[in-house]
Chain A
Amino acid sequence: MSALSVSATFAAAEFQTPSIEYSKLMPMLIVFGVALVGVLIEAFMGRTGRHQVQLILSIAGLVAAFVSVTMLAGDNQIAAVGAVAVDGPALFLQGTILLLAIPGVLTMAERSLDRGGVFTSAGSSTPGSEHERVLTATGVTQTEVFPLTMFAVGGMLLFPAANDLLTMFVALEVLSLPLYLLCGLARRRRLLSQEASLKYFLLGAFSSAFFLYGIALLYGYSGTVRLSGIAEAVSSNSGSDTLLMTGTALLAVGLLFKVGAAPFHSWTPDVYQGAPTPITGFMAACTKVAAFGALLRVLYVGLGGLAWQWEPVMWGVAILTMVVGSVVALTQTDVKRMLAYSSIAHAGFILTGLVATDTVDPDTGAVLGVSSVLFYLLAYGFITIGAFAVVTLVRDAGGEATHLSQWAGLARRSPLVAAVFTLFLAAFAGIPLTSGFTGKFAVFSAAIAGDAAPLVVIGVVMSAVAAFFYFRVVVLMFFNAPAPDGPAVAVPSPLTTVAITLSVAVTVLLGVWPTQVLDLADRASQFVR
């Protein structure tokens, strides 16, 4: 007894009480807090009105978190005993994720397109069973979607800000687990949705294992999981190179899986197609932002000293990703799958900017590799959310009409929707005066400044290939005769309307007048180390 207390006292003497700067973590705390309150609402509130309350709460939380991000703007420090970095890239990406999550949540809350909303009445009911039929008839829906989304958003906020690998892993899991669930909650085509969910889960777990293994090896190499510590170890060149290289590669596998880069992209089309469309849009936009943020931080802060070794590998990944995404998209016949491959191709374009590591703008001091990727992510996120929101509007008796042949002559039925979708496709293709052009321009010029001109040439060629399949859809919508029993364009509630309008506005604004945001990205391009 006494021995135990002695040892305890002894330990306490050496023990440093950690401190946590709650104000610096406010955005995440707000989002997680809202998620917890959401869980309690699910537990204690009656069915009626739950949907509204959850929606208002989530949006209010996202807005509040965004406001707190803007108040932190300009901070450049490490918080929570070295676990979290509060710096330019982290805050820019957190702001981006929160801004994207707002239209994302709005589309999820849409209930006037399909009776009861996008999500199933009960995820646990067997598809096609009597139980499901009875539940569907009541018109109820799983409102757990909202807290799940908020947990995912919280994880996404932490992911690009994580300053040590363990925190990063926790963030990865926090953002992934809710997404696995959300993917399986579609109201229509539930088997496809559940299949997508399971696939995503299995492959996600597989990739997490790689990630974790990578962490272990890097810990073995440097004796720390802190990125700055790893950077020190790299620069002092202590330890086994084999451990370092293998660890770096495995860590990259986990992150590249999340951004959907080839050859770790195989889950993307299946999951994007099967998941409820608003979830697909949310996932495609926000997860990519968060994962690229984490990839940037790992590669620039932790492994910056190793750049000349991982750059060639990233070249290869970027090229393969652009080629696979653009080329395979050519033969897709489903809108959601086509957009999935397009998102793979865009991951490749972003990787192109990422390899411009040590290119610093002499005038502004901006790190071009970082600032161009930051801008691209913001632009791409809004195009994606908007495009998937438009997909939810084109419906027939069986739900969303996603086969491309059903989109023929859509302009005849609804010129406005066709025009909006054309805008998003043009932005994906990188047509000037859309945000997509500005983004591509930024990453490609960063890559050129970073002596990666061959990469840019391939990027431009693949953009041309990609433009082909985007404009094929435009031609289909405008110049083909509509099928006699084709789908109709449903009139959404203000929720989806607002989401699409917001996306259109950002897409146009960042194309026509991107100066302010480019400046902001420039200023936000310094990592704290």
Chain B
Amino acid sequence: MNSYVPILVLGALSLGFAVVSIGAGALTGPKRYNRAKLDAYECGIEPTPQPVGGGRFPVKYYLTAMLFIIFDIEIVFLYPWAVHFDALGIFGLVEMVLFIVTLLAAYAYVWRRGGLEWD
């Protein structure tokens, strides 16, 4: 069980940090609200307007997010391959080609079906 203690400590620390910083801000900070402050925080840019129909997002967002994840995962595999390229040899090449071809097929489908166009 001892090996789990650091995890518990980490969890306690992060929880403590969140509670303390939000609590401290709420207690000590000045409370002067305006429209800009009440808006959703989107890294400083103009927030995306609320879609019509009350809180629904176009499915396009999900599509983009999924495409991002696919290529994200590809990177996850590419990196260890690059690290152990020599050791993996021809086996690694074959496997990675299979992997990339699989992703490419999906990519081709998305591309041909207009998944990459916003409108």
A residues in contact (CB < 8 Å) with B: 8, 11-12, 15, 17-20, 36, 39-40, 42-44, 124
Residues of chain B within 8 A of A18, CB atoms compared = 91
Residues of chain B within 8 A of A20, CB atoms compared = 91, 95
Q: CA separation between A12 and B82, bound complex, in Å?
A: 12
Whether B83 lies near A43 (C-beta < 8 A) is: no
Question: What are 24 inter-chain pairs, A to B, with CB distance below 8 A?
Answer: A8-B83, A8-B84, A11-B84, A12-B84, A12-B87, A15-B87, A17-B87, A17-B89, A17-B91, A18-B91, A20-B91, A20-B95, A36-B102, A36-B105, A39-B105, A39-B106, A39-B108, A39-B109, A40-B105, A42-B109, A43-B105, A43-B111, A43-B113, A44-B108
B117 at interface by CB-CB < 8 Å = no
Q: CA separation between A44 and B87, bound complex, in Å?
A: 37
Whether B91 lies near A19 (C-beta < 8 A) is: yes
B residues in contact (CB < 8 Å) with A: 59, 83-84, 86-89, 91-92, 95, 101-102, 105-106, 108-109, 111-113
Q: CA separation between A19 and B113, bound complex, in Å?
A: 37
Residues of chain A within 8 A of B84, CB atoms compared = 8, 11-12, 15
Q: CA separation between A19 and B95, bound complex, in Å?
A: 10
Closest CB in chain B relative to A35 CB, distance in Å: 9
Q: CA separation between A19 and B88, bound complex, in Å?
A: 10
- Which secondary structure dominates where chain B touches chain A? helix
Whether B88 lies near A17 (C-beta < 8 A) is: yes
Name the CB-closest residue of B to A4.
B83
**Known contacts A8-B84, A39-B106, then 14 further A-B pairs from the complex at CB < 8 Å, ordered by chain A residue:** A11-B84, A12-B86, A17-B89, A17-B92, A39-B105, A39-B109, A40-B105, A40-B108, A40-B109, A42-B112, A43-B105, A43-B109, A43-B113, A44-B108
Top 7 A-B pairs, shortest CB-CB distance: A43-B112, A43-B109, A15-B87, A12-B87, A43-B108, A36-B105, A39-B105
Q: CA separation between A167 and B59, bound complex, in Å?
A: 31
Residues of chain A within 8 A of B112, CB atoms compared = 42-44
Name the CB-closest residue of B to A147.
B109
